Structure 1
């Protein structure tokens, strides 16, 4: 144990022992903002404040028959350190400009970047069935609702959906992503990358595939977000991948999660016309500024920073970016004034005059990749491990 002034510090091993968790779970706690990692001067490893560990230990529920809680999940899929996002230990900032999202999906699923990337397609019969079902919904239905229907119908059409082997899950994953993308457009494309096939569904004119591809990569996974928790709980019960993605899509359909970019898009509508008036009105109503601040990142959302940097070279994004710059310059408070990925998605939508629900559609397709990665990881754990410690009679 180390001392620095009056503060007492614990090593990773000591934290793991105090909390009765694996050492790798300690770093999962860091990624979720539950613990603060302190660099150990002159030695390898990290240190943690004993007071912070003690408070966390008090908040955790222990018992003789303790079941797994979300805080106990040690995932190797993604991590956040020093306001940087990593997939399997690789900085997303490096992946986003060098590898297509299909290769990044392979990295998240298998630990290896696929080269060349595999095209994601679905059997013709499954596509015909899903397109017929989605086509019956009418043109006013949201894109994410179309996806939900398509996933359910594709599941009923796939006799191999109960193949839960690693290869079976990978096969289903490629079908799922193809179905989600190809069911959205009235004139679907059956070939090309996911980004190339997705673009026509989001706007009436061309959206650069490279920009969409980068956005999909940035959104593919983000640790134990609420929709990923839903997916992992379903996977713990050995639900097949179609059902797991349906669980994720259900949890995603919230103003606090998947639909947050739509809220930011509408706020940006007002901010482009008058940035400070729009911000003032939101603050007056007490709801905070849509698209600003994040629960995990302390100084910057790296996903937003990367996407906004790309958009600064797009002339049509200038009005939205100017509005954001004006607001951040005036607010000054670092944490609450930092644009997050939802606001960056809203800028992308405004720059290319996309549908108001385009952001949540991109989010859902991208996060499907992450849900599959967590499915594969959860299938390797004991089944039905997420249960309450105590069951109270009604």
Structure 2
């Protein structure tokens, strides 16, 4: 937020800084309506802005009121966009869901239980999310109509749109309706995905279909291998660990959509659109391919060397929010250490870490841990992106619930225009004269 200084007067003294109503509300941490309530109670004075559009406020007086009212958050730095959130805190190389260590939650509880905690702050042991028949039928029909080569994210985006069309209550943004829709949307996305190549070829229904936990339902969509309990536990842990990670790019997009009061399905669509970028959700696929090559060649040394020679980063290493190993990777590695079939891929991942540490010590991030899961279980390279998207749907909904309670359309940055200054002549197509009146 930038203070707006009034122009100097004839005496050479600088006039007091004036803030707009929006800037005053942000500095006080309140809604614009509350600012005018302060004025009516005599706690703030206001001056009509030039041209009669809105009011302005003395910055020093606003700061004094902020101190009196005990507002704890410092004003954001100039140009910095800050969101008040109670969903996720990242601090001291750990991350927390509603103040509880997220890795401990993922170790102790299933994905659905952690999602419910994130949404409501209440723990509901044994909760299962169920897809409604109408939404599931619509989503499956839409997904099945896609070309065979469609990516998992393509299928998920189409499934979200189809599920939205089947929900007549999607425009009801009340908390309970949004939560009910979220509990049905996540399993609808999983149920709409076709079985993994080489699998049964037919979507299962019972007994390990819609009544099973979400991780077990998702397993058959990612690999043709039978559901092994330690592997499914690791997949469930990955889902729980990835639910949210503060304001990642896709979450910011989701909050912008929610700020416009887009319905929850549209919020999830916005998140999926950003997630598909190679620098976000697709990053685990790069780590998968690298890890598979390390296993094929028997050593990380030539693989790392090839990446560096080509000017590419070694995937699955480093994270700008953590100085040490990504806690999500740490937790998922621990779960995978209990899976005998994952031993080879896990050793390959540690080989990559040790090889790069000789010259640039970069700890593992969650993409490398997801690659261990996908490579060792016979999943496709895109499986990590699917796990990420399904899991993060719950996080986008949690942020949407927060944003629905904020002032609508509050995210309206100003563009810094760098084009030609007006007035410019009306353009005319080459070789053609401008239209003239008959």
How high is the TM-score relative to the length of structure 1?
Answer: 0.80
Which residue of structure 1 lines up, in the alignment, with residue 92 of structure 2? 82
Q: Determine which structure has more spread, i.e. the larger CA radius of gyration.
A: 2
Which residue of structure 2 lines up, in the alignment, with residue 12 of structure 1? none
Which one of the candidate residues 183, 187, 190 is aligned to 1:178?
A: 187
Distance in 1 (CA, whole Å) between partners of 2:294 and 2:169 is 49
Unaligned runs of 5+ in 1: 1-18, 23-52, 62-68
Does residue 109 of the first structure (1) align with residue 119 of the second (2)? Answer: yes
| Residue 288 to residue 390, structure 1, CA distance change in 2 (3 Å) | closer
> Do the aligned residues in 2 keep the contact of 1:144 with 1:361 (CA within 8 Å)?
yes
| Residue 334 to residue 223, structure 1, CA distance change in 2 (3 Å) | farther
Which residue of structure 1 lines up, in the alignment, with residue 232 of structure 2? 209
Which one of the candidate residues 154, 170, 177 is aligned to 2:163?
A: 154
> Do the aligned residues in 2 keep the contact of 1:279 with 1:327 (CA within 8 Å)?
yes
Q: Secondary structure at the match of 2:108?
A: coil
Distance in 2 (CA, whole Å) between partners of 1:318 and 1:180 is 31
> Do the aligned residues in 2 keep the contact of 1:292 with 1:336 (CA within 8 Å)?
no
1 or 2 for the larger relative contact order (CA 8 Å, sep ≥6)? 1
Which residue of structure 1 lines up, in the alignment, with residue 218 of structure 2? 198
Distance in 2 (CA, whole Å) between partners of 1:335 and 1:245 is 37
Q: Equivalences for 1:156-305 in 2 at 5 Å?
A: 156-185=165-194, 186-188=202-204, 189-207=209-227, 208-272=231-295, 273=297, 274-305=299-330
Give CA deviations for 1:159-195 in whole Å, capped at 9, x if unaligned: 1110100001001101210111100134142221111
Distance in 2 (CA, whole Å) between partners of 1:190 and 1:236 is 33
Which residue of structure 1 lines up, in the alignment, with residue 142 of structure 2? 133
What RMSD, in angstroms, separates the aligned Cα atoms of the two structures?
2.2
Deviates further, 310-319 or 268-277: 310-319
Distance in 2 (CA, whole Å) between partners of 1:291 and 1:334 is 16
Distance in 1 (CA, whole Å) between partners of 2:359 and 2:190 is 37
| Residue 262 to residue 104, structure 1, CA distance change in 2 (3 Å) | same
> Do the aligned residues in 1 keep the contact of 2:237 with 2:335 (CA within 8 Å)?
no
Aligned length: 334
How high is the TM-score relative to the length of structure 2?
Answer: 0.72
Unaligned runs of 5+ in 2: 1-25, 30-73, 195-201, 420-438
Distance in 2 (CA, whole Å) between partners of 1:196 and 1:231 is 27
1:327 Cα shift? 2.7
Distance in 1 (CA, whole Å) between partners of 2:308 and 2:263 is 44
